[in-house]
Amino acid sequence: MDDYGLGEPMQDAATHVNDAVRNRSSSRKDGFSNGDATRNTSGDSKQDEAAGFSDPTSSAYSRAKRWWMMSTGFPLIAGTFGPLANLFSVCALVQTWRVQISPDGNERDGERVPDPHWVLAPNIVSLVFAVGANMFLLMNFGHRMRYTIAQPLTVAFWYLSFILLLVPLALSKHMLLYPRDTHAFSQSYYYAIISASVYCIISTLLLANLLGALVFKAYPPSFGSLTVPQRTLMLQTTAYVFYLALGALVFSYIEGWSFVDGLYWADYTLLTCGLGTDFPLYRTLSRALLIPYAVIGITMIGLVIGSVRALVLERGATAMVRRRLEKERKKWVEGLDGSADVRAWEKREFEEMRRIQQRADWMKRYMALATSTFAFAVLWLIGALIFWYSERPQNWTYFNALYFAYTTLITVGYGDFYPQSNSGKPFFVFWTLLAVPTMTVLISNMGDTILVTWVKEGVLWLAEKTLMPGNGNGNWNGKTSDDNPRRREEDGLVRPIEKLGEAVEREEEGELTGRARLIRRLAHEVRVVADDVGQEKAYEWDAWSRWMRLLGEADEWLAERDEGFRHKRESSHRENESSHREEEQLSWLAYDGPMFSEEDEAQWLLTRFCEKLEQIMVHT
C-alpha cells in the first residue's frame, strides 16, 4: 500500500474516533435511528429505516420531528408519573377511607372506620394492574418487549386501574359518608383520587402515542427515539419513589406516625421545604437516621430534576426551535440569487448560518424561561387556591395560601402555616413533587438568560471599579471542566488521535503521492479538531472554508477511483438539481449540515474527516 507507514495507526484512529464520536452523539440526540439500542426490538429499527424515519431528508423524518411531543414527550411523562401513582395507590390501601370524628375533635385525630369489601377489593386489584402497567412500560423502554405488544397492554392496564378506583370513589361519597357531621374522609381517600387522576392522564397520553404510531404513522412504532438516558429516567423516578416510601415506613415506625403522615414528612424533608412544625423528630434514632437519609434523598431528587430538565424540557424546546429554523432556512434558500459570486455566496451562507444559530440560541433560552415561568405561576396560583379551599377549617385566607405556597416553593419553610386537613396533606405531597422541581428549573433557566448576565456583568464592573481593579481583563480563557484531557481520554478520543498524530509526524519527508498527501492533511485536521470536541466551539469562516475544500478534495479523489462512488455522487447531483438546485449546493444550511446536526461543530467535522479516512484507506 502507498501509505508510508500510516496504515495501521490511521485505521485504528479512524475506527476508535468514529466509534467514540458516534456513541457520544447517539447518547445526546433524540433522533430516530438509535443503533445498538434498538437491536433488541426484533426488526423495529429495520422497519423504521425502510419507512424513511432514519433519513433526515425524508418527509417521514420531518413528520416524526414535528410529532416530538407525542412520540417522545408523552412516554417520558408517563414513565415519570407512573411509579408515583403506584405509591399513591399504596397510600390509598394502608388506611381506611373513613374516620369518625369525636364531638370535640377534628378529622386529623378521627377514629378509623373499616371499609366494606366493595372498596377494598377494587383497590387491591387496581394496584396490581397498575404495577403490571409499569412493568410493561419499563420493558418497552428497555426493548425487552415489542412496542406493539407492550404499549396496548400498558394502556389497557392503566385504564383498568383508573376505572377500578373510580367506581368506589364515586360511590363512597353517597354510601359511606354518613352522618356527615361526625364522619370525614381520610388521607387515603384523597390519595385514591390523585392516583386515579394520574392513571387516567398517563394512560391517555400513551394511547395518543400509540395512535400516532399505528394509525397516523407519524413516527415509528417503537421507543427507538428515546436515548439511553431518557429511558433510564423512569428507573431514576422509580428509585426515588421507592426511597421516599422506605423513609416514610422507617420514620413512621420509629416516631409512631401513620404511613401517610410519614410520607408527608419524608416529602417535605427531601424537597428541603422543612416545615417541621407538625411532625418534628423526637427520638434520637430517627434524628441519627435523618443525616444519611436526607443526603442520599436530596442527591436523588437533584439527579431526577436534572434529567427532566435536560432530557424533556430542553429537548422539547430544541425540537420546536428546529422546526422554526427549518422554515427560516426554506425562506432563505428560496431567496438566493444564482448569479452571485460563488465564494461571496458561500460566505454569505456561512454568515446566515451564524445569524440563525444566534437567533435559535436566544429562542431556546427564552422559550425555556417562559415555559418554566408559566408553569411556576400556574402551580403557585392554582396550588394556593386549592390550599385555601382545603384549609378552610383553619380559617386560611387566599393571601395566607399564597404566602404558604410561595414560601414552600422557594423552600424557606417557616412552618407558621402548614396543611392540617386530610385533603390538604395528600395534595401537598403531589403538589410539591411538581412545584419544587419546577422552581428549581426556573432558577436554572434564569441563569441562562440576559437577566442574570446583566447581574454578573454588573458585579464584575463594580469589582473592577472598587476592590479588584483590572480583574475584568484577567487571563481566564473560558475553559471549563469539560476541557479536561482525561475526560476526553475516557471517551476514547485522545489516545488514538495522539497515536495517529505521532505516526504522521514520523512520516518521511519528501514528495508524497496524492493519496498520502490527502491522508496526511486529513490526519492533521482530525488531530486539530479533536481537541475541541465537547466545547461547543464555533469556528470562523476561514477555518470552515479550508475544511470544506479538504472534504471536497477527498470526494473528488474517491470519485476518480471509485466508479460506484462517482455514479452515486452524479446521480444524487442530478436528482437534487432537478428539484432543489439551490438547496443541493448548500453545505451549512443542508439537512445534514452542521447547523441541523445533533452534534456540535467539532463532532460534525470529526465524523466527516474519519469517514473520509476510512473510505480512502480501503483504496490501494
- 107 and 23 in a single domain? The answer is no
Task: Kindly state whether residue 536 falls inside one of the protein's structural domains.
Answer: yes
- 55 and 188 in a single domain? The answer is yes
Task: Kindly state whether residue 556 falls inside one of the protein's structural domains.
Answer: yes
| 599 Cα distance to chain centroid | 16
Cα(223)–Cα(231) distance, rounded to whole angstroms? Answer: 9
Average pLDDT, the chain: 78
The three cell numbers locating residue 303: 439527579
Q: What is the pLDDT of residue 300?
A: 93
Number of C-beta neighbours around residue 415 at 10 A = 15
pLDDT at 225 over 50: yes
- 88 and 143 in a single domain? The answer is yes
- 219 and 140 in a single domain? The answer is yes
Beta strands in 74-127 (DSSP E): 98-100, 111-113
pLDDT at 556 over 70: yes
pLDDT-based confidence at residue 470 (cuts at 50, 70, 90): low
Number of C-beta neighbours around residue 141 at 10 A = 23
Task: Kindly state whether residue 2 falls inside one of the protein's structural domains.
Answer: no
Q: What is the pLDDT of residue 47?
A: 46
pLDDT at 494 over 60: no
> 528 is in which domain, residue-wise?
7-30+482-617
Cα(594)–Cα(22) distance, rounded to whole angstroms? Answer: 15
Stronger pLDDT, 233 or 166, i.e. the higher one? 166
Cα(136)–Cα(75) distance, rounded to whole angstroms? Answer: 12
Is the CB of residue 101 less than 8 Å from the CB of residue 183? yes
Task: Kindly state whether residue 336 falls inside one of the protein's structural domains.
Answer: no
* Burial class, 292, CB count within 10 angstroms (exposed 0-12 / middle 13-18 / buried 19+): exposed
Cα(143)–Cα(39) distance, rounded to whole angstroms? Answer: 8
Number of C-beta neighbours around residue 470 at 10 A = 8
Task: Kindly state whether residue 314 falls inside one of the protein's structural domains.
Answer: no
Sheet with 183-185, edge to edge strand ranges? 111-113, 98-100, 183-185
- 66 and 21 in a single domain? The answer is no
pLDDT-based confidence at residue 495 (cuts at 50, 70, 90): low
Which of 182, 200, 226 finishes a domain? 226
Cα(235)–Cα(573) distance, rounded to whole angstroms? Answer: 47
Which of 208, 226, 244 finishes a domain? 226
* Burial class, 469, CB count within 10 angstroms (exposed 0-12 / middle 13-18 / buried 19+): exposed
Query: What are the tens digits of pLDDT across the range 559-600?
Result: 877 665 555 555 555 444 444 434 434 456 666 677 666 677
Query: What are the tens digits of pLDDT across the range 522-550?
Result: 888 888 888 888 777 888 888 888 888 88
Residue owning grid cell 407492550: 150
- 68 and 18 in a single domain? The answer is no
For 564, residues 6+ apart whose C-beta sits below 8 A from its C-beta are none
pLDDT at 1 over 50: no
Q: Is 67 helix (H, G, I), strand (E, B) or coil?
A: coil
Task: Kindly state whether residue 128 falls inside one of the protein's structural domains.
Answer: yes
DSSP secondary structure letters along 379-428: HHHHHHHHHHHHTGGGT--HHHHHHHHHHHHTT----SS---STTHHHHH
Is the CB of residue 382 less than 8 Å from the CB of residue 434? no
pLDDT-based confidence at residue 52 (cuts at 50, 70, 90): very low
Query: What are the tens digits of pLDDT across the range 179-214?
Result: 777 889 999 999 999 999 999 999 999 999 999 999
pLDDT at 408 over 70: yes
The number of distinct structural domains making up the chain is 2
What's the whole-number mean pLDDT along residues 22-32? 44
Stronger pLDDT, 477 or 522, i.e. the higher one? 522
- 130 and 222 in a single domain? The answer is yes
Task: Kindly state whether residue 361 falls inside one of the protein's structural domains.
Answer: no
Cα(146)–Cα(204) distance, rounded to whole angstroms? Answer: 20
SS3 labels along 449-507? CHHHHHHHHHHHHHHHHCCCCCHHHCCCCCCCHHHCHHHHHHCCCHHHHHHHHHHHHCC
| 288 Cα distance to chain centroid | 35
Number of C-beta neighbours around residue 392 at 10 A = 11
Cα(143)–Cα(35) distance, rounded to whole angstroms? Answer: 13
- 40 and 154 in a single domain? The answer is yes
How far apart, in Å, do the first and last CA atoms of the chain sit? Answer: 5
pLDDT at 467 over 60: yes
- 496 and 595 in a single domain? The answer is yes
pLDDT at 428 over 60: yes
Cα(416)–Cα(43) distance, rounded to whole angstroms? Answer: 59
What's the whole-number mean pLDDT along residues 237-263? 96
- 20 and 52 in a single domain? The answer is no
pLDDT at 384 over 60: yes
Which of 226, 245, 262 finishes a domain? 226
* Burial class, 317, CB count within 10 angstroms (exposed 0-12 / middle 13-18 / buried 19+): buried
CA angle 214, 219, 224 (to 5 degrees): 105
The total number of residues written for the chain in this structure: 620
Which of 30-39, 131-140, 483-492, 605-614 has the lowest average pLDDT? Answer: 30-39
Cα(378)–Cα(512) distance, rounded to whole angstroms? Answer: 68
- Main-chain phi, psi angles of 184, to 5 degrees: -150, 160
Query: What are the tens digits of pLDDT across the range 240-251?
Result: 999 999 999 999
- 41 and 190 in a single domain? The answer is yes
Cα(109)–Cα(107) distance, rounded to whole angstroms? Answer: 5
Q: What is the pLDDT of residue 407?
A: 92
Task: Kindly state whether residue 289 falls inside one of the protein's structural domains.
Answer: no
pLDDT at 3 over 60: no
Q: What is the pLDDT of residue 27?
A: 45
The three cell numbers locating residue 553: 478534495
- 19 and 108 in a single domain? The answer is no
- Percent of the chain past pLDDT 70, that is, above it, reads 69
Asked if residue 179 has a cis previous peptide bond (ω within 30° of 0), the answer is yes
Q: What is the CATH number of the domain that holds 42?
A: 1.20.140.150
Which of 130-139, 589-598, 605-614 has the lowest average pLDDT? Answer: 589-598
